[in-house]
């Protein structure tokens, strides 16, 4: 049995200045024609590598779990073929909010599809700065595109994917063109289908979701 430990978070880059100012996008890089982008990352603490999906729609719980699923299919499963458990450390707010019903429902779908038992440990509100993905991945992405105008999606994806460090950090990045509508309501009946077990210590922040069937 192999246990995996990954860290996840949505990334909100700011404006970058150059010596000769050039018009660039801020925050979600909203454009009247192209819409916006929403980078969401997964960092593997053991392998020191990461995955970033650059979404073009809403940063929802469905988008966050889809990103984790892509990391698992393209990077996680090849590295940990015999893994049966996945540990996710995530912020308490945003698309992976500890209060989000949709987050839990989507994680249940992922557990069913992969056969993984998924444990989630949320950082308490206001403590996201301690999330390792912040210091070990996003900080280097920021350095990678320092002084480079983020003028389009291709530039963003290429700069993220080119991020490397002397310690061996490597990042894969892809554009996610799927749509993730906002405002999806999860009923009590749907939530009851989630095979979730709260931990004794702060069960609202720490819980395990078991697959409904074995793979």
Residue 96 C-alpha from the chain's centroid: 8
Pick from 71-75, 118-122, 130-134: least confident = 130-134
What's the pLDDT at 144? 86
Q: What was the pLDDT predicted at 21? A: 58
DSSP one-letter code for 152: S
Contacts of 213 (CB under 8 A, 6+ apart): 112
How much is the pLDDT for 185? 95
Distance CA 95, CA 100 (A): 8
Element (H, E) at 119: strand 117-122
Are 111 and 103 spatial neighbours (Cβ–Cβ below 8 Å)? no
**Structure token digits, residue 116:** 């993984």
The share of the chain scoring above pLDDT 70, in percent, equals 84
List the beta bridge partners of residue 2.
83
Mapped onto helix, strand or coil, the DSSP state of residue 147 is: coil
Whether residue 184 is contained in a domain is answered as yes
Distances (CA, A) of 126 to 22, 33, 122, 130, 143: 34, 35, 11, 9, 24
Which residues touch 137 (CB under 8 Å, ≥6 apart)? 41, 43, 50, 163, 169, 171
Q: How far apart are CA 13 and CA 38, in angstroms?
A: 10
Position 56 in a domain: yes
Please, is 158 exposed, middle or buried when counting C-beta atoms within 10 Å of its C-beta (0-12, 13-18, 19+)?
A: middle
pLDDT of residue 1: 41
* Residue 165 exposed, middle or buried by CB count within 10 Å (0-12, 13-18, 19+): middle
**pLDDT score, position 22:** 59
pLDDT band at 128 (very low <50, low <70, confident <90, very high): confident
Q: State the average pLDDT over residues 102-117.
A: 97
Q: Are 131 and 50 in contact (CB under 8 A)?
A: no
The SS3 call for residue 73 is helix
Give domain status of residue 214, yes or no. no
In a domain, 181, yes or no: yes
Does residue 177 sit within a domain?
Answer: yes
In the chain, the number of structural domains is 1
Taking phi over 0 as left and psi of -120 to 50 as alpha, with beta for the rest, 183 belongs to left
Could you read off the pLDDT of 1-49 as tens digits, one per residue?
Answer: 445 666 777 766 554 444 555 565 554 455 555 567 899 999 999 999 9
pLDDT digit string, tens, across residues 143-155 = 988 877 777 889 8
Mean pLDDT of 72-100: 95
Tell me if 200 is assigned to some domain: yes
Domain assignment of residue 74, given as a range: 2-14+23-209
In a domain, 168, yes or no: yes
- Domain with residue 123: its CATH number is 3.30.420.10
- Whether the per-residue pLDDT at 171 is higher than 70: the answer is yes
Is 215 domain-assigned? no
């Amino acid at each position: 049995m192999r246990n995996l430990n990954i860290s996840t978070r949505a990334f909100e880059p700011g404006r970058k200045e150059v010596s000769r100012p050039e018009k660039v996008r801020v925050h979600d890089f909203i454009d009247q024609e192209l819409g916006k982008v929403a980078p969401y990352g997964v960092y593997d603490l053991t392998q020191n590598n990461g995955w970033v999906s650059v979404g073009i729609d809403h940063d929802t719980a469905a988008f966050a779990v889809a990103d984790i699923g892509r990391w698992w299919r393209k990077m996680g499963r090849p590295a940990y073929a015999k893994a049966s458990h996945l540990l996710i450390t995530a912020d308490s707010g945003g698309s992976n909010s500890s209060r989000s019903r949709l987050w839990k429902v989507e994680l249940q779908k992922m557990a069913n599809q992969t056969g993984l038992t998924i444990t989630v440990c949320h950082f308490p509100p206001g403590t996201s700065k301690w999330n390792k993905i912040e210091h070990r991945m996003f900080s280097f992405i920021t350095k990678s595109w320092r002084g480079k105008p983020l003028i389009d999606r291709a530039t963003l994806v290429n700069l993220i994917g080119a991020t490397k460090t002397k310690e061996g950090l490597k990042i894969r990045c892809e554009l996610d063109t799927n749509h993730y509508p906002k405002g999806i309501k999860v009923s009590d009946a749907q939530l009851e289908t989630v095979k979730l077990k709260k931990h004794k210590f702060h069960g609202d922040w720490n819980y395990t979701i078991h697959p409904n069937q074995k793979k």
